[in-house]
Amino acid sequence: MPANRLGFDENGGPFSLSQLKVIQEVITLTVFTLCAVFVFRTDKLGLNHVAGFILLLVAAVYVIFKKW
């Protein structure tokens, strides 16, 4: 979870606990991918990486934040 939990709805913020966790995962995976590609130059960012990122992370954010 974000360290301060200021966004947690029971502490006056707009997000539920699961929404905060998804936000954390998206940020973590984004930073890891950028570091791996640009800092360590381990792999090129190919179309399959971008498609996987969109399918996994964007879909997860959409599902968690959608009001049913």
Using the structure block, give the residue that is written with the tokens 């360590």: 40
Residues with Cβ within 8 Å of 68's Cβ and at least 6 positions away in sequence, in order, are none
Instruction: Report helix, strand and coil shares of the chain as percent, to nearest 5.
Output: 65, 5, 30
pLDDT band at 4 (very low <50, low <70, confident <90, very high): low
Q: Specify if 4 maps to a domain.
A: no
One-character DSSP codes across 12-40: T-SB-HHHHHHHHHHHHHHHHHHIIIIIS
pLDDT band at 9 (very low <50, low <70, confident <90, very high): confident
Q: Specify if 36 maps to a domain.
A: yes
Instruction: Report whether pLDDT(2) > 70.
Output: no
Instruction: Report whether pLDDT(6) > 70.
Output: yes
Domain holding 13, by residue range, is: 9-65
Question: What is the tens place of the pLDDT at every residue in 11-53?
Answer: 888 888 888 888 888 899 889 888 988 898 877 888 998 898 8
Q: Specify if 2 maps to a domain.
A: no
In the chain, the number of structural domains is 1
pLDDT at 62: 92
Amino acid making up residue 57: L
